[in-house]
Amino acid sequence: MALTLYGIPNCDTVKKAKKWLEAHQQDYQFHDFRKDGLTEQQVTTWCEALGWENVLNKRSTSWRNLTDEQKADLDQAKAVALMTELPTLVRRPVLDRDNTFKAGFKDADYQAFFAE
């Protein structure tokens, strides 16, 4: 089983997800958005699997810093372009288990995800 956790290391939610994975003996690779970057294909795949509204983090500082023009007429293509350009717009963390994805972290959601 291939397991990759995408995020940024100083994000509290990413830290919680890492602790959860370690506590449940899950081997994973960590992919740092900022350092390792994101491709348009990765973001598109997540949006197709989860819905772009679930991948785009509208509560982030990065979102609040966007212009009204950037936020207007949002659709998947525009959201993917924004998230590829500014990876901190992606809801963190994104977990990839053999091309099955989960965005965000909640203990109960991870329990259910790994029970599948």
Q: Are 60 and 35 in contact (CB under 8 A)?
A: no
Q: Which residue has the tokens 């109960």?
A: 108
Question: Would residue 11 show up in a list of annotated catalytic residues for this protein?
Answer: yes
Q: Residues 11, 74, 81, 86: which is the catalytic one?
A: 11
- Rg of the chain, C-alpha, whole Å: 14
**The residue type at 36:** D
Helix 12-23 / helix 107-115 crossing angle, nearest 10 deg: 40
Active site (catalytic) residues: 11
